[in-house]
Amino acid sequence: MNYDVVGLGTVVVDHLVLLSHHPVQDAKTNIISDAYQIGGPVPTAQVMLSRLGKQCAFLGSWGDDQYGPLIAEELAAENLDLTGSRQLPGTRSGYAQVWIDESASTRTIACYRPEHWLQPADLDESILTQAHAVHLDGWPQATCLHAAQIAQQAGAKVCLDAGSLKPGMEELIPYLNVMNCPRRFITEYLDTDDIQTAGAELLQQGPDLVTITDGVNGAWLFTESNRLHCEALPVLSLDTTGAGDVFSGALLYGILEDWPVERTLKFACITAALKCERLGNREALPTLAEIEAVLQTKKLRLSRWD
Ligand SMILES: Nc1ncnc2c1ncn2[C@@H]1O[C@H](COP(=O)(O)OP(=O)(O)O)[C@@H](O)[C@H]1O
Ligand SMILES: O=C(O)C(=O)C[C@H](O)[C@H](O)COP(=O)(O)O
C-alpha cells in the first residue's frame, strides 16, 4: 500500500471575510480583514492527515483560472500526491465566500463549478487500489460511488464526510465503513432530530462506525458495541469554518492508528475545537503537539449509553 488515505472530493478557494456583524437586508457592513485559503471537506481533512504524518493522495479537479495554479501549488506543498487530479482547460475553479462575524457565526455562499469534476472514467484506479482508506464528500455522486466500489473490492476502508445531503447519497452509504455527519444532515436525511435514533439507523444502512457532530454540543460516536458522546472542548471560537472537515480528518487518523474509539473521539473533538480558535481551515489546523497537550491536561467528559 502506497497511501494511507486517498481523497476524492470538491476543492474550493475560500474567501474568508471577517465582519463585526452580518449586514441586514439591503444594508452594508465594512470588512475588518479578509484572507484566501484552499478549502473543501476532503482537501482540508487530507491536509490535517498529511501534517499528522499520513501519506495522502488527492483526486480532485480545478479550473485554469487564476485560482487553479494556487490550488495545485498549495496542496502539493502540503505533501498531497496530485497525480490523479486535473486542471481542466476552459473551466473555472470552485470558490466560496465565508462571512464570519464577531460571534463566530458564519454565512457561506459557494460555487463548486461541476463542469470540471472528475467523472468515473477519469478515476486513476491504480491510486485507489493502493489506499488503506478512501475519503469522500459525496460529490460528484457517480464518481464517488465508483471509487467506493473499487476501494471496497481492494479492501480499503471507505469513509464519507457527509456534510450536507447530496443526490444519490443513499446509494453510497451501504459501501461505507466510516460515516461522519453534522446534526443538520440527519435532520435532512432521516427526518429525525433524535441523535440516538439516527446513529442506530445509519449503522443499519452500512457503516461500521458513525459519528454525528453538533458544534458546541460536541459529538456522538456509534459502533455495534459503543454509544458514546464527547463534550466539545470549551474554546474562544473565532471561526467554525471547516470544523467538521477537520473533525473527520482527525477521526480517520485515530481509526488508522487503531486507537480505542474513546481516544479517537476525544482526539477528533479536541482537534476540531482548536481549529475554531483560528481563522479558516488549512491555516487554522493545530499541530499534533498542541492536540496531545490538551489530551493530556484537559478532562473532556465522555459519556456512554451501552
Ligand atoms: N464553537 C466550538 N467550540 C468547540 N468545539 C467546536 C465548536 N464548533 C465545532 N466544534 C467541534 O467541531 C465538531 C464539528 O463541528 P460542527 O459544527 O458540528 O460541524 P460542521 O463544521 O460540519 O458544521 C463538533 O462536534 C465539535 O467537536
Ligand atoms: O468552504 C470550505 O472550506 C468548506 O468546505 C466548508 C464546509 O465543510 C463545506 O462547505 C461543507 O460542504 P457540504 O459537504 O456541501 O456541506
Q: In the numeric block, which cell numbers belong to residue 104?
A: 463566530
Report pLDDT for 223: 98
Q: How far is residue 193's CA from residue 169's CA, in Å, rounded to a whole number?
A: 19
Distances (CA, A) of 111 to 13, 15, 94, 191: 10, 12, 6, 27
User: Atom 2, ligand 1: which residue's CA is nearest?
Assistant: 216
271 CA to centre of ligand 1 in angstroms = 10
Report pLDDT for 305: 75
pLDDT digits (tens, 9 = 90+) for 80-111: 999 999 999 999 999 999 999 999 999 999 99
The yes-or-no verdict on residue 306 having pLDDT over 70 is no
Name which CATH class applies to 3-11+40-84+119-304. Answer: alpha beta
Q: How far is residue 88's CA from residue 139's CA, in Å, rounded to a whole number?
A: 17
Q: Do the beta carbons of residue 177 and residue 152 sit within 8 Å?
A: no
Number of H helices, E strands in the chain: 10, 16
Report pLDDT for 171: 97
Q: What is the DSSP secondary-structure string of 120-173? A: GGG--HHHHTTEEEEEE-S-SHHHHHHHHHHHHHHT-EEEEE--S--TTHHHHG
- Domain spans, the chain: 3-11+40-84+119-304
Poorest-pLDDT segment among 175-179, 181-185, 229-233, 302-306: 302-306
Predicted ipTM?
A: 0.96
Q: How far is residue 142's CA from residue 118's CA, in Å, rounded to a whole number?
A: 10
52 CA to centre of ligand 2 in angstroms = 21
In this prediction, residues 132-143 reach a mean pLDDT of: 96
Q: How far is residue 92's CA from residue 72's CA, in Å, rounded to a whole number?
A: 14
- In short, whether 63's Cβ falls inside 6 Å of ligand 2 is no
Query: Predicted confidence band at 1 (pLDDT cuts at 50, 70, 90)?
Result: low
- Of the candidates 166, 172, 165, 183, which has an alpha carbon nearest to the alpha carbon of residue 247? 183
Ligand lying nearest the CA atom of residue 246:
1
In this prediction, residues 192-208 reach a mean pLDDT of: 97
Name the residue with cell 470538491. 10
E strands present in 176-281: 178-182, 209-213, 219-223, 226-230
User: Atom 4, ligand 2: which residue's CA is nearest?
Assistant: 40
Q: How far is residue 166's CA from residue 75's CA, in Å, rounded to a whole number?
A: 25
Ligand lying nearest the CA atom of residue 214:
1
For all residues of the chain together, what is the average pLDDT? 96
Q: Which residues line ligand 1 (CB under 6 A)?
A: 182, 213-216, 218-219, 232-233, 235, 237, 240, 243-244, 247, 269, 272-273, 276
- In short, whether 94's Cβ falls inside 6 Å of ligand 2 is no
pLDDT digits (tens, 9 = 90+) for 256-283: 999 999 999 999 999 999 999 999 989 9
The sign one gets for the Cα dihedral 61, 63, 68, 71 is negative
Q: Which of 216, 279, 281 to mutate to test the pocket of ligand 1 (most atoms within 8 A of CB)?
A: 216
Exposed / middle / buried, residue 115 (Cβ in 10 Å: 0-12, 13-18, 19+): exposed
Return the SS3 of 182: strand
